[in-house]
Every structure is written in structure tokens, then in C-alpha cells.
Amino acid sequence: MRYIIKHETKARIRVHLPMKRMTFREADTLEYYLQGFTEITQITIYERTADLVVKYSCDRDRVIDILRGFDFDRVEVPERVYETSGREMAAKYNDRIITSIILHYGKRLIIPLEIRKWWVLLKTVRYVFRGLKTLREGRLKVELLDAAAILAAVLTGDYKTASSVMFLLKIGDTLEEWTHKRSVGDLARRMSLNVDTVWLLTDSGEVLTDSTEVVCGDRVIVHMGNMIPFDGTVTDGEAMVNQASMTGESLPVRKTEGSSVFAGTVVEEGELTLCVTQTGGSGRFDRIVRMIEESEKLKSALESKAESLADNLVPYTLLASAATYLFSRNVTKAVSVLMVDYSCALKMAMPISVLSAINEAADYDITVKGGKFMEAVAEADTIVFDKTGTLTMATPRVVRVVSFCDESEDELLRQAACLEEHFPHSVANAVVVAAVEKNLDHEELHTKVDYIVAHGIASQIDGKKAVIGSYHFIFEDEEATVPEDKKTLFEELPPEYSHLYFAKEGRLCACILIEDPLREEAADVTDRLRDLGFKHIVMMTGDNERTAASIASRAGIDEYYAEVLPEDKAGYIEKARAEGRKVIMVGDGINDSPALSAADAGIAISEGAQIARQIADITISGSGLESIAVLRELSAGLMRRITFNYRTIVSFNTALIILGIAGVLPPATSALLHNGSTVALGLKSMTRLLKSKDE
């Protein structure tokens, strides 16, 4: 691509493309291309002028090469990128605000005063009808105050004030609508988790296939714990499907043959075969947007309290205006009171604060599903960690396979990988990766695979019952035995590794040794969380006492529980909440889902099971645990901002009312200060709570 360098400073360059302007689609294409390079840290595209600003963390020559390598025709962009882009919406609202400002002040220069008066009268009718509508609904809302203030200004002949009030109300409404839609759109895009591969049912069996190759009419198998990748109709199987991300339902829904299923929902129990009815389009994105907009999850308790107060104050404002007129017989003073209300400021600043905080969290690779959960994080005094894939690395690795039968270690690893590849867990992934690294072809060798939560997997290989999982599952539940001549080898298994046992026909065949190293930052993060106010930092794991004690000690955790089941984790959290504690749960696996649901806020590590990410209220996509401490700081900052907004709005507007009653401020000035402060507070609520991570 050819371009002109217009300006550059250290680690920043502005270039101009040889065209008058870019279309929204072209701008999205260029942004998608540049986002594929880790060296590019920030991209700003001005489609109107065909300019581009790039910030980078590499050599200047590398950036030049990246830009030269771009071509609109050679970049393949997934259609979902265009469908969920907010670029066109931002341009639309920007144009609307600019047009409103030009028309408002342009009319004063061009249109005669008498004609402007008639124009104000016509617009007044619209506001009066909006106010009367709230009365018909049996509620006193801010629209009634707006109507009364504008009508009073018109009746007293102050058309300029009436026009200014309507103009400021329009700008405020546009800013509120724009901010809300942009924030909800950004959140929905981050909740639209993409599925790269699926199990396609073919004549030769299940085949792991790239999701982009699937077409309508194909049959796809979805195993327990996995996300349903496409809209479709169930053709075989039975499952309980969690649809919270689509419909907001808290309980899973039973799906059988003939049932419709949505892309983005998750199979909690069972297994489904579905016929794909939609492979693309914005259906899932639109449903997420509707769910977010309609869900009360977006409202924290402080936010709901502020909005409730806003509506409750409307009748008092009306009474204050009436009382002012009765005592002073001064219409101007009464109108000054009407020009000021608490409602619009509270209802604008509070949701903007929450949605802006959610967007800021996303800059740190944190997806939060609502302000309610940020409030829970801010107030929590207890945090519970799962061990595997949470405190330890999300990518454990196989160190060795110990054979207890006449089959080779590689053959046993191949069979184990064949079973494990169907289920999303970090240990299962380690087995599959180990087989791939050894070039072990693990095509389907088994019959139907059953996953037993927190225990393991059961199936049949070559007609023999095969099980793989924990010590408890293999030796206590399945009552497998160790060959007599291998008992010494079994007793000498190295204790520093996690053990995954593989048995066939009731006899131990292999022990897979898994290295599950502690995250480097774990100890520092736990110390930081204590400094941020957490009184109880707990680790719970299904691993044995020896391993749990070692990990807890190195992570700086005093309270830990070993060999626990999923219901034990959830039981601990429910007990702690009953004692009056606010609890956060951090996990990554299918067996963590009950605890994630039971906590005041459930945090899922994105590398883990899809069901954990869907059930969780917060998802961390970053590679480290530092994001949890950042989330705590963000949440505390949001609560402080909401409290500040509440106090500022009440005190400032109360002062305006008092000054209006005293006759110090005329109605026009009261309206200007009130609406101006509302917009200013809304804009302030959009600012960052923390310093930029790049600073």
C-alpha cells in the first residue's frame, strides 16, 4: 500500500492514504489487518480524511513494512467483524450532534424572530405531550418537569430560554443514547466468544473441523461443557443447555430431538447432535445486545438506589415550584425551580459510569457482564481460587507416561489423547498436546464418551471399558487394581507431579505425570489482594493433600482445602455468604461452574472450559492473575465515582434551586447551569478510572 507520512513522534506515526475518504468497511478492514500485529499497540482510523494514527512498540522500519504490506483486496476479514463494528454508529451520532449545534445557532442568524417563536411553540407541544404521557402512566417522571419548565418559559414570553432548554435536552439525550449504545455494543462484542473448531459428523464418524468450513445442513456434535457454535435444530441426543448469555435464564433448559438451540449457549450435561440452520449473521450479537439492555444485571445496588431517588424527587420539585409561586407570586422564581431537577443527571451519569467502567475493564482483557458484579468485587472480603489452570499455569504439560501393562507408553498416550480431546480442561489439553508433539495419530478408537464431573472420563476402546481420571475415580469409584508386579513402580511414582490414571477392564494401564507449575505472579498477586482489603484468600482443589499444601505455601495462601468435589466448593461459598461475607470465586473448569454460580461474582479464566466462561459473571482473557487485582481497583474506583456523582448532583442542583428561589439566578441561567452540569458530569463519567496500561 502506498501512503504519505504526515507526522511522527517517538513510537507514533500518522499517515494519509491516497484516497479522499475510506468507507466504513475499508476502515474496518485496515483496522483488522493492523490488529493482527503484536507490535501495533494502538490504532486510530479517520475514515473521513483517510488518515491513520499508529502507536507501536517496535522499530520504525518494521511499522513501515507492515503498512506497505497492506492491500484492501488481499485481507480476508470474517463477516462478523463488519457486522459488529461500531464505526458507522459512532459516525451517525457524531453527525447528529454537529447538525444539532449548527441548526440551533444557525437559526438565530438566518431565521427572523417571529418565525423562530412559532418554531419553538411547535416543539413545545411535543415536550408537553411527553410530559402528559407520564401522567397517563400514573407516574411523575423527569419528562413532566421538562414539559412544565418549557411551557412556563413560553407562557412568560421567554422563548430564548425555552429554545435553549430544548436544545440542551436534545444534546443530553443524544449523548446518553450514544454512550449507552456504544458501551453495550462493545460489551456484546466481547461476550461474542468465537468457536474456531467443531466436531463435524460425517459418514466416517466425528471429524474435528474448522468452523468456517461448516455450512447450513451440516450435522455438528456438541459434547458436555462445550459451547454450541451455531444456531440449529437437535437431531439426536439429550442435554441440559445453559442459555443465560442469550435469554438471561438462570436455570439450564432441557433440549431433545426437534428442539432449537442458539449459538453461544453451553451444554451443561449430556451431548447433542444438531443440524446447522445458521452459520453466520448478526443473530447472536443482536440477541446479546438485547439481553444486556433488558437485563437488570447492569445495575449495581448504588446505581438502582440513585435512579429510584431520581424519580422520587420529581414530585418534590413540582411542589417546590408551586410553593415558590404561592409565597412569592413571582413566576420567574417558580420557573427557575422547574428548570432544575435531579433526575436527568442521576439517570445519565450513573449508567454511563458503569458502562464506561466495563469498557475500561475490557482494556485489561476483562469482560464484566454488569455493574452489579463490579460492586460485588468492590465489596468482597473473601476470594476463592481453584488450583489447576487458575493458580497454576493454564497450560500444564505431560512430563512422562508410566506404563503398567504390555502396551508402549506412546500407544497409551495415543489412547488417552483420543478420550481427552473431547473435553475442555487444562489437564486434558496437556494430554492432547503431548500426543500431537509426538505425532501420535489419535483418530476415534472408542465408543461414546461419558464425562463424570470432577472425576474423569469413561468409554470403551476395542470393546474394553476404559476410564481415565483422578485417583478417587479410578481406584475407589471404578475399583481398578494395580498389577501385582507393578506395585513397587506405583509406590515410587514421583510426588512432585500431578497424576492422571488410565485403566482398562479394571486394571491400571498407565499413569500420566503432569507438570502443573505455579504461576510466577501468584504470590505477589495474593499479597496485593490482601493489601486491597481481602481478609480471606482461599484455595480449593480436587488434588491430593500433599500437592495442595505445596501450592498453597508457595502462593502465600493460608487457608486451603484438598480433595474437594464441585459441591464442596459451592457449599463453602454458600456457607461463607450465609455468615455475611461477600465472596468471589475464580476458576476455569467444568467442575468450577457450581461454585462460580454460587458466588457473589464468579470469575472465569478464559483458557478454561466454555461453560465456566458462560456461567461466570466476569471473564479474564489476560495471561496473568494481575487482572484480578486490577479488577478490584477498577471496581472500587467505580463505587467511589458513583458516590461522588450522587453527592455532586444532589448538592449542585439543590444550590441552583435555592438560588432560583432567592431570585439570584434567572430561569435561563438555571437551565443552562443545570443542563450544562449534567452533560459535563456525563462526560466526566466517561473518563478512565485508572491510568492507561500503556502509561
332 domain residue, yes or no:
no
Pair 608, 557 in one domain: yes
Going by DSSP bridges, is the β-strand pair 266-278/12-16 parallel, antiparallel, or unpaired?
unpaired
680 domain residue, yes or no:
no
- Cα distance between residue 165 and residue 482, in whole Å: 84
Q: Give the pLDDT score at 524.
A: 94
Q: Give the pLDDT score at 77.
A: 82
Pair 616, 564 in one domain: yes
3-state secondary structure 606-658: CCCCHHHHHHCCEEECCCCCHHHHHHHHHHHHHHHHHHHHHHHHHHHHHHHHH
138 domain residue, yes or no:
no
What cell does 178 get? 450514544
The residue assigned the cell 443447555 is 241
Pair 499, 411 in one domain: yes
Q: Say how many C-beta atoms besides its own lie within 10 A of residue 458's C-beta.
A: 20
In this structure, is the dihedral angle defined by the CA atoms of residues 650, 651, 657 and 658, taken in order, positive or negative? positive
Q: Could you tell me the CATH number of the domain that includes residue 68?
A: 3.30.70.100
- Cα distance between residue 294 and residue 289, in whole Å: 9
The residue assigned the cell 446447522 is 276
SS3 category, 522: helix
Residue type, 625: L
Q: Is the whole model's pTM more than 0.95, yes or no? A: no
Residues of the chain under the 50 pLDDT cut: 193, 281-282, 295-297, 693-695
- Cα distance between residue 288 and residue 285, in whole Å: 5
131 domain residue, yes or no:
no
Pair 605, 495 in one domain: no
565 domain residue, yes or no:
yes
260 domain residue, yes or no:
yes
Final residue in a domain of this structure, among 465, 496, 515: 515
- Cα distance between residue 293 and residue 303, in whole Å: 15
Cβ atoms of residues 223 and 423 within 8 Å: yes
3-state secondary structure 396-421: CEEEEEEECCCCCHHHHHHHHHHHHC
Question: Quick one: CA torsion of 602, 604, 609, 611, rounded to 10 degrees?
Answer: 40
| H/E run at residue 29 | helix 24-35
Final residue in a domain of this structure, among 483, 515, 547: 515
Question: Quick one: CA torsion of 427, 432, 435, 437, rounded to 10 degrees?
Answer: -90
- Cα distance between residue 18 and residue 282, in whole Å: 32
Pair 510, 413 in one domain: yes
Pair 421, 499 in one domain: yes
Going by DSSP bridges, is the β-strand pair 382-386/583-587 parallel, antiparallel, or unpaired?
parallel
Q: Could you tell me the CATH number of the domain that includes residue 609?
A: 3.40.50.1000
- Cα distance between residue 386 and residue 569, in whole Å: 9
Pair 509, 533 in one domain: no
Q: How many domains does the chain have?
A: 4
Final residue in a domain of this structure, among 22, 47, 77: 77
Q: Give the pLDDT score at 247.
A: 55
Pair 466, 539 in one domain: no
- Cα distance between residue 96 and residue 91, in whole Å: 9
| H/E run at residue 378 | helix 371-379
Pair 385, 494 in one domain: no
Nearest to 387 by CA among 574, 544, 600, 601: 544
- Cα distance between residue 627 and residue 352, in whole Å: 23
Q: Say how many C-beta atoms besides its own lie within 10 A of residue 230's C-beta.
A: 26
Pair 533, 386 in one domain: yes
Q: Could you tell me the CATH number of the domain that includes residue 420?
A: 3.40.1110.10
Cβ atoms of residues 449 and 457 within 8 Å: yes
Pair 507, 421 in one domain: yes
191 domain residue, yes or no:
no
Range(s) of the domain holding residue 14: 4-77
Pair 372, 448 in one domain: no
146 domain residue, yes or no:
no
Residue type, 453: V
Q: Could you tell me the CATH number of the domain that includes residue 264?
A: 2.70.150.10
